[in-house]
Amino acid sequence: MTYAIVITGEINPDFTQEQVINNLAALFKKEASFVEKFFCGKPVVIRRNLDMQNAQKYQVAISKAGCNAKVIEEDSASHAPAEAVKTNKTMNTANDFTVAKAGETIIQYEMPEEPNIDISSLSMSDPGEQIVNHVEVPEANIDISNIDLSPSGSVLTEKNIIEDPNIDISNLSMAHAGSEIIDTDK
């Protein structure tokens, strides 16, 4: 039984389409414009006549590049016009593809732009130079000669007894519920 590898065009959530196109271009050693055709909206058969082991290697490599791929039986791929676009009709030939060697870098790292930070007002001291002058703080001169410790369990303060306030409320009265308490005529 032989198998074919089909790129579904679905991009893994951790990747952008541009990243996936660049990764697949590096993986298959093709131009990005060639790989862009894989994202035509339909599944694309990119390799045929593979045994299961090699088909699974392709699937893993494509998945690491950020794109979903399926392994299908060759019989299914021969009936593929409804399911998938055959690469040999829309592109060069599927046999032009190769998988990158183990350990080969397939994603090219691009250095970010160097930030434009104005440091013209900054300077550096020579190694070993003291940049902050240490100021000696004089020892505090606090007289504690009249302070002593009470034995454990001693009451340190006396409880102040607060007398009840003598408030005369004999001239106050309560209005009935719902009555007007403010004279609005004045």
Can you tell me whether residue 149 is helix, strand or coil? coil
pTM of the predicted structure, to 2 decimals: 0.42
What is the residue whose two structure tokens read 């593979």? Answer: 50
Q: How far apart are CA 19 and CA 39, in angstroms?
A: 13
Torsion of CA 173, 178, 183, 184, to 10 degrees: 170
Cα separation, 127 vs 129, in Å, equals 6
Q: pLDDT tens for the chain, 186 residues: list them.
A: 888 888 888 888 888 889 988 998 888 888 888 888 888 778 888 888 888 888 888 889 998 989 888 888 876 444 443 344 444 434 444 455 667 667 666 666 677 788 888 888 888 888 888 888 888 889 888 888 888 888 888 888 888 888 888 888 888 888 888 888 777 666
